Amino acid sequence: MLISVIVPTLNEGSCIEKCLSSITSQGSDVEILVIDGGSTDNTREMAKKYTKKIYNLKKRGIGIARQVGAEKAVGKYVYMTDADCWASPNLLHDMVKMLEKSSAIAITGPTKYSGINGKIMQLWYYLYDKYYFRYKYGTIGLSGRNSLIRRDKLLDAIKGKEMPNFWEDGFMTFCLRKHGKMIYIDNLKNFSLERRLKNPLTLIKTIKMYKKGMKELKQNGKISSCHLPLTSGRNL
């Protein structure tokens, strides 16, 4: 059974090899799709060591990258992660087994960080994905860093929509919730660098944007003011 791994990138040369190496070690039934937003470093050259499926976006944005990846993928399941994350051994196949056993359409787990700010964000994501999203929307929240999703269900859920470029995983969850059950398993963990969280002000700003995005999603069914800017990238 083929699993399609979608990795959005933008100047990820310093970390992408660890990510892709951990995915490759999961087995031969895994395809890797790197969706690049116009990197100017060696990201694409590094990615070519692990996959031929490298796509360059017309528009830059992580939400668009995940959406394009799902459309280009051919696996029954798509695994969403980030370029600065790496998977624990057998993670993807453990996810598939638990997903099929539960008859759910998507499964997610925590991402482990190092450092003080990383631990704070780790706790925020854990409480938000496992508990707060359920309180607000009646289901767990899927993590864009560590989630496996039935591809057909995801494409049905986002058909005709353009995923936002901030809190795109929340929007993806919101759209999927009417298509089937989603589950959160504590021991299905992956790992990530703290690089985006080293500045405490960035951490505070990120949490504020999450709260604003949640409010917009509940009121309007979409996220508008929290978009990251779209910039011209390379043609597909």
Q: Residues of the chain with pLDDT > 70: what percent? A: 82
Average pLDDT of the chain, as a whole number: 86
- Which pLDDT does position 15 carry in this prediction? 94
Whole-number Å distance between alpha carbons of 160 and 221: 14
Boundaries of every domain in the chain: 3-220
Res. 232: pLDDT tops 50:
no
- Which pLDDT does position 147 carry in this prediction? 98
Buried b (16+ CB within 10 A) or exposed e, 7-37: bbbbebbebbbebbebbbebeeebbbbbbbb
Place domain 3-220 in its CATH homologous superfamily. Answer: Spore Coat Polysaccharide Biosynthesis Protein SpsA; Chain A (3.90.550.10)
Res. 229: pLDDT tops 50:
no
- Which pLDDT does position 225 carry in this prediction? 56
Tens-digit pLDDT profile for residues 49-106: 999 999 999 877 888 999 999 999 999 999 999 999 999 999 999 999 999 999 899 9
Tens-digit pLDDT profile for residues 163-208: 877 778 988 998 999 999 999 999 999 999 876 555 666 666 666 6
- Which pLDDT does position 226 carry in this prediction? 53
- Which pLDDT does position 231 carry in this prediction? 35
Average pLDDT (124-147) is: 90
- Which pLDDT does position 228 carry in this prediction? 44
pTM of the model: 0.87
Q: Residues of the chain with pLDDT > 90: what percent? A: 61
- Which pLDDT does position 183 carry in this prediction? 97
Instruction: Report which of residues 54 and 28 the model is more confident about.
Output: 54
Average pLDDT (34-50) is: 96
The count of residues in the chain is: 236
Average pLDDT (27-44) is: 95
